[in-house]
Structure 1
Amino acid sequence: MKIKSIHVYSNDGRRRDVTFHDGLNVITGRSSTGKSALSDIIEYCMGRSTFNVPEGVIRDRVVWFAVIYCFDGEEVLVAKPAPAPGALSLNMAMVRRGAKVEAPDFSELAVNDSDDGVVALLTHLLGIPENTTDVPIESSRASFDANVKHAFYYLFQKQGIVTNKDQLFYRQNEPQQPQAIKDTLPILLGVSGKDKFTLESQLRYAQRELRLNAKLLQQAREGIDNSEERAIGLLSEARAVEIPLGDSDVPPTALLGRALDWKPTSVPEDDGARVSGIENELLDLRERRREVQRRIDGAQQFAKRAEGFQSEVSEQRERLSSIKALPVDKATGEWQWPFAQANIGMDGPIAKALLGELETLDAELTAVAGERPALVAYLTDQQKALADIGDQIRGKEVELSSAIATSEMATQLANRNNAASRVVGRISLFLENLVPNTELLRLQAEERRLKARVADLEERLGADDSDTRLASTLSNIALHMSGYIRDLGGEFGEYPAHLDLHHLTVVIDRPGRPIYMNRTGGGENHLAYHLAALLALHRFAATYDHPIPRFMLIDQPTQVYFPSETSYAAAGGSIEQTESQKDADLEAVRRLFETLQRFTTQDAPGFQLIVTEHANLREDWFQAALVEDPWTKPPALVPDNWPDVPLF
């Protein structure tokens, strides 16, 4: 996988093309011309959604980015629109495939895929085998599939990394990325391939089946060991809730089987409404009884008052009846007032008043005597009514007691049925889970089979010498590292060096005490160690055809050979300006590019190195490596006359 070309599109449909070739590609020029953004554009068009192109002219004027990748016999165009203003990422893409693909016109650009599709396609075409990272079971991180994005670590040596003593690979300083490098590099180097992935998947499946079978077998054994005791306990519960079981000489499990035939007892309808109705009728009868009693009490009070009145009237009449002792006028036969003059009779006012009072008392006595029979009859009727109501109340109370008893009986029967139902349910569950001897034998045989399967897979995986092969691979990579360090003028080049995958750094194997890259000084040394490790890694991958892209971008590597960033920037892509920097180590610059040139022609023929620079050398081979004339007028990647993208 190599880069054929990079394309950017303006808002008005214009296109800018940058075309590359095999071998060494150099883009040199002044600062702020867009050179360093090339790696961000390539990464963006390899399926990374995050948009890392720096703010400035490129973001302001470019609306689409495209890269054409070359594979054996096929080319793939991946184009992506720029994210909307303010957005930090975009997951949409356009993909076009063919034996030969050209950059489309602006009118042809249209989204037809996503970053996931781009990653899957490039992973497949690159030849990364089906895989999953080898993560220990006790680890908190999850396994994942290695894909083309895990090759990014070895493709981009950006300006801030290429001379960093603490960071060897791209994105190594980001969370989780160091472990991802350690997990995926063995896969990309062919140490952990599809066969191991298949065996590991089969082993995980077999181990899971073995654990499940072991659980079932344990349950079966525990069930058999405890079945007799549990059966006796369930029989006791069944008898407690009056489930008929029959002959007790039958084995417990057979008796329990009979319990499954139990049917609930018919429960009388709980007539709560009838109880309420009777209670309401009793309330009415008791109220009627109280009303009749009040009438009887009133009549009796009336009778008592009448008797007292009659007694008083009689007593008064007796006193007045003494008037009968008055003398009688013999001539007229009438009573006469004894104090009156002779023969005046009863014509006097006092006599008349007394006689009138006596007549009134006689009348009242007569009335009272006349009403007594009616009062006696009334009291008799009311007392009879009171007795009838009392009989009705007693009958209703008996009826209520019967209704309550019936309701309680229904409740008891329902409770008994519920209790019996629960026991029957437990018996049913027990009998269902009761493992017969044949099932136990089957589970034991399955356990033996699965153990044999797991042992076989573990043996086959144990025979896989991944660790030994990884050590051998790293030794082969280390074989060339010392030579590159010497070619690049790095310190300690006389000693062997190797790539430490555990610490992700370069180690110089000096006798007595190894030297780690972060304990060395000088940017020239750090550059030498970086390039030595990556060139050796790519040389091994290219030689043995491992699925790592055959290109690498190096951003401004020769800056370490200039006395300052100002003097380095002053070179500006001009041969004359480069040579005018008297304090610069131009011999080291030349040595660096000679090493890179030799790598692409001899060590890994056809490998594509893309170097962005400020320096420019006079040598013909260097000039032949220039992709374009030096980018001397910013911005060179994006023309000055392109319009700005509307913000809204």
Structure 2
Amino acid sequence: MQIKEIVIYNKKGQKRILKIKEDEVNIITGKSGTGKSSLIDIVEYCLGRSSCKIPKGVIRNHASWYGVLLTHREENIFVARENPPGIQKSTQFAYIERGKNVESPENIPQTNSTNDEIAVTLSEILGISPNKNFPKMGHTRNPLSANIKHSSFLCFQKKEEIDSSQVMFHRQAEQGRIQDIKDTLPYFLGAIREDELALKHELEKEERLLRIAEITLKEAEMLKGDEISQSISLVEEAIDCGIIKSEIKNESQTDRTKILEKVSIWRPGKPTQFNDNLEILQDEANELTKKLSLQDRKIRAAESFANELTGFSSEMLHQKNRLDSIGIFEHLSQKNKECPFCKGELEHKIPEIESIKNTLKDLDEDLEYTIKERPQLRKKISNLKRERETIHSEIQQKLKDIEGVIQSRQGLLEERDLRFRQAQVSARAKFWLDNVRLTDETSQLKIDVKKRSEKVQELRRELDEEKKQQRLNSILNRIGEKMTRWARELKLEHSEFPVRINMSTANIIIDSEEGSIALDEIGSSENLLGYHLVTFFALHEYLRNHKRPVPGFLFLDQPSQVYFPKDTEFDDMKEVLDEDRENVLKIYKFIFKRTKEIPEFQVIITDHADINDKKFQSVINERWRDGMALIPREWIEG
């Protein structure tokens, strides 16, 4: 995978294209502040980086979308992402288009994907197979799957990284990045098999099948010694629960086996269903109970009324008898001016005599009514009690009916329990027969266990961490040989000693006679630049020759900066010391030579230097001086 174009769309829909040549060195030279260093940020953002690191200012103020036209084998892939608006650090709005003749769109792309989807698609296009680095026992971090985002540490060298004494790889200074490099570099180099994840899954499956086979064999061997006792017990249970008759022939193991074969195919008849009116009877009994309670209340009310009536009539009779004893009823029949006691004529009438007479008359009538009503009330109470007895009898009958239904149901439940027990015995008989057959096949089971055990051991050897480490060491040794040879070609300090990549630190190390020399002990910026270059070119030579799934480009930002005084601009190399000018040219000649040697490999360089050298001049894509820059002047002025 290489880059054909880097594209920017402004907010008016205008398009800026930076053409990049395949399989060659591409140089964009120019002054500071023209956007050279931002090219790495743009490409990395388009290839799936989560956050946008393009500096705020002219580029972010005028860009609407960023895009990269890629080529991979015979296919073009255009990917683009929206410039994050405002203070946002990222956006999921993205675009991707694939095809043999695909070009960058003339107008602003219309979102058809997300950043996450693009990362997955590009990983698949590169051929990054499903992979996962599992931490060693005792480590708490999660397994990590390598994807195109992780390949960026092999493809970019920013100006603060290219001659760093602290870090070798892109973004290595970020938190957690060293571990990501250590986890994914073995995969990218091919030390981890492409099918390792599939092999891990196959190993898990084979280990599970081996455990099952071992358990089956163990059970078969145990059952082999218990066949007779278990068969006797099962036959007795089958007789006890009624599956077979007790008089059946049961003398030999052959007899018992035949019996249990019949037991194993036993099937229960259709179960009897509950078909009764228990719920209806219970409802009727409840209604009768309510009716009985109502009848009791009626009887109590009638009896209470009868008692009160008896007391009332007794009191009235008592009063009447007292009045009768003095003949007041007779006297009251005389004239009002006649004294009822002495019969003498009164001077005045007795007040309200008529009223007293009426009251006494009412008293007499009430007394007569109560005497007359008493038998009727007693009769009504008797009727109420007879009705109560009838209701009570009906309740008793309902309760008997309910009890009968419950007993019937209990019988059905017992029948079901028996059927369940019979089914259990039948199932156990089948299990016994199956295992008896297995005991006759223990030799085959042992063969199966042996084969599965051998398969598991084979897979474990394939996935052995020590073997994987040996493959990685072998690869790193071969890469280290190239690094050492090229370090000597550049006449770097300490190059008389072997140099190699140290995976424990994700850095390089030089094995001198006096001990190891780490990157931060190598010395000058010129030396550091040289060791960075030999490391990355050696890595890419191996990656390309072994067709590993890593993009086939290396993006270098300002490799000549170590020879320029800080904050100084040079349009050409005339003002640089002859020795430094020769060293810059030596570095570029090294880059040209390695790029030509490595197949399907592209180098993109952004630099201040503009060397008056035929080869150098021939690979310059654009010069960003005299108003030329990544963002066109008319975008800014217009």
| Fold shared per TM-score above 0.5 | yes
After TM superposition, the structure 1 stretch with the greater mean CA deviation from structure 2, 450-459 or 53-62, is 450-459
TM-score by length of 2: 0.75
Residue 523 of structure 1: which of 522, 525, 529 is its match?
525
Question: Which structure 2 residues correspond to residues 506-545 of structure 1 after superposition, within 5 A?
Answer: 506-545=508-547
Per-residue CA deviation, residues 241-290 of structure 1 (Å, 9 max, x unaligned), is: xx998978999996997988664665542334323332333334333323
In 1, Cα distance between equivalents of 2:535 and 2:296? 110
User: Where does residue 395 of structure 1 map in the other structure?
Assistant: 390
Selected match of 1:604 from 591, 598, 606:
598
The Cα of 1:417 is off from its aligned counterpart by 6.1
1:553 aligned to 2:561?
no
Structure 1 residue 481, shift from structure 2 partner? 1.5
Q: Deviations over 1:187-218 (max 9, x none)?
A: 33333344656544433333344456667888
Question: Quick one: distance in 1 between partners of 2:93 and 2:44?
Answer: 13
1:533-564 superposed Cα distances (whole Å, 9 cap, x missing partner): 1121122233444444432111112223344x
Query: Which residue of 2 is the match for residue 333 of structure 1?
Result: none
The alpha-carbon distance between structure 1 residues 377 and 36, as it changes in their structure 2 partners (threshold 3 A), is: same
Which letter does structure 2 place at the counterpart of 1:288?
Answer: K
Which deviates further from its counterpart, 117-126 or 220-229?
220-229
Counterpart amino acid of residue 375 in structure 2: T
Separation (CA, whole Å) in 2 of partners of 1:285 and 1:150: 91
Structure 2 residue runs of 5 or longer lacking an equivalent are 249-255, 332-337
Q: Which amino acid aligns with 1:276?
A: N
In the alignment, the residues of structure 2 paired with residue 299 and residue 205 of structure 1 have an alpha-carbon distance, to the nearest angstrom, of 97
Contact 1:223 1:433 in 2 (8 A): no
Displacement of 1:24 in angstroms is 3.1
- Residue 307 of structure 2 corresponds to 297
- Alpha carbons of 1:470 and 1:313: their partners in 2 closer, same or farther (altered >3 Å)? closer
Q: 2:617 aligns with which of 619, 623, 641?
A: 623
1:275 and 2:275 correspond: no
Unpaired segments ≥5 residues, structure 1 = 322-345
Q: Which residue of 2 aligns with 1:308?
A: 318
What is residue 207 of structure 1 aligned with on the other side? Answer: 207
Larger Rg: 1
Deviation at 1:474, TM superposition (A): 1.0
The question of 1:632 aligning with 2:633 is answered: no
Distance 1:123 1:12, change over 3 A: closer
- 2:155 pairs with 1:155: yes
Rate the CA distance shift 1:57–1:249 in 2: closer, same or farther, 3 A. Answer: farther
SS at 1:168 equivalent: coil
Residue in 2 that maps onto 1:335:
none
Taking structure 1 as reference, are residues 380 and 640 closer, same or farther at Cα in structure 2, changes over 3 Å only? same
Q: What's 1:473 paired with? A: 475
1:167–1:96 CA distance, 2 compared to 1 (3 A): same
| Alignment map for 1:203-242 (pairs within 5 Å) | 203-211=203-211
Structure 1 range deviating more: 58-67 or 611-620: 58-67
1:436 maps to what in 2? 431
In structure 2, the partner of 1:3 is 3
In 2, Cα distance between the equivalents of 1:431 and 1:168?
A: 73
CA distance in 2, matches of 1:159, 1:95: 32
Aligned counterpart for 1:595 among listed residues 579, 590, 594: 590
What SS is found at the alignment partner of 1:387?
A: helix
Q: What does residue 332 of structure 1 align with?
A: none
Q: Are residues 1:642 and 2:635 paired?
A: yes
Task: After TM superposition, give the deviation of residue 429 of structure 1 in Å.
Answer: 6.8
Q: CA deviation at 1:514?
A: 1.6
**Whole-Å separation in 2 of the counterparts to 1:430 and 1:179:** 60
**Worse-matched range after superposition: 177-186 or 381-390:** 177-186
Counterpart CA distance in 2 for 1:411 and 1:123 is 72
Distance 2:180 2:79 in 1: 27
Contact 2:484 2:498 in 1 (8 A): yes
1:641 partner SS: helix
The residue number in structure 2 matching 1:59 is 60
Residue 31 of structure 1 and its aligned partner are, at CA, apart by 0.7
CA contact (8 A) 1:30 1:634 kept: no
- Aligned counterparts of 2:277 and 2:217: Cα–Cα separation in 1: 48
Amino acid at match of 1:611: I
Cα distance in 2 for residues equivalent to 1:403 and 1:62: 92
Instruction: Indicate if the aligned counterparts of 1:554 and 1:611 stay in contact, CA closer than 8 A.
Output: yes
Number of residue pairs matched? Answer: 596
Q: Compare 502-511 and 591-600 and name the one that shifted more.
A: 591-600
Could you say what secondary structure the match of 2:326 adopts?
helix
Counterparts in 2 of 1:479 and 1:383: CA distance versus 1, 3 Å: same
SS in 2 for 1:133: coil
Amino acid aligned to 1:275? A
1:20 aligns with 2:18: no
Would the alpha carbon gap of residues 375 and 463 (structure 1) be closer, same or farther in structure 2, given more than 3 Å must change?
closer
CA contact 1:551–1:607 (8 Å) conserved in 2: yes
Residue-by-residue CA offset, 1:594-629 (whole Å, 9 max, x unaligned): 32233224x436743222111233333333332233
The one-letter code sitting in structure 2 at the alignment partner of 1:476 is R
Query: Is the Cα–Cα contact under 8 Å of residues 60 and 83 in structure 2 kept in the other structure?
Result: no
Deviates more, 1:367-376 or 1:106-115: 367-376
RMSD over aligned CA atoms reads 5.1
Deviations 1:221-248 (A, max 9, x none): 999999979x99xx89xx9xxx998978
Distance 1:300 1:220, change over 3 A: farther
Separation of aligned partners in 2, 1:405 and 1:596: 108
Deviation at 1:171, TM superposition (A): 3.1
Q: Secondary structure at the match of 1:628?
A: strand
Equivalent residues of 2:47, 2:79 under 8 A apart: no
SS in 1 for 2:392: helix
**CA separation of 1:497 and 1:426: change in aligned 2, threshold 3 A:** farther
Secondary structure of the residue aligned to 1:571 is coil
Q: Distance in 2 between matches of 1:129 and 1:104?
A: 25
Tell me if structure 1 keeps the 8 A contact 2:68–2:80: no
Opposite residue 617 of structure 2, the aligned amino acid is Q
Contact 1:210 1:447 in 2 (8 A): no
Structure 1 residue 636, shift from structure 2 partner? 1.1
Q: Partner letter of residue 638 of structure 1? A: I
What SS does the corresponding residue of 1:459 show, helix, strand or coil? helix
Q: In percent, how many aligned pairs have the same letter?
A: 24
Q: CA, structure 1 residues 293+463, in 2 after alignment: closer, same or farther (shift >3 Å)?
A: closer
CA contact (8 A) 2:8 2:17 kept: yes
Question: Equivalent residue of 1:436, what SS?
Answer: helix
User: Any idea what SS the aligned residue of 2:635 has?
Assistant: coil
CA distance in 1, matches of 2:412, 2:458: 60
Q: What is the rounded CA distance, in whole Å, between the counterparts of 1:115 and 1:104 in structure 2?
A: 18
Aligned to 1:456: 455
Structure 1 range deviating more: 137-146 or 41-50: 137-146
Question: SS in structure 2 opposite 1:186?
Answer: helix
Cα distance in 2 between the residues matched to 1:170 and 1:613: 18
Is the Cα contact below 8 Å between 2:131 and 2:197 reproduced in 1?
yes
Deviation of 1:140 (Å): 5.7
The 2-side partners of 1:460 and 1:608 are apart by: 39
Output the CA distance in 2 between the equivalents of 1:150 and 1:432: 57
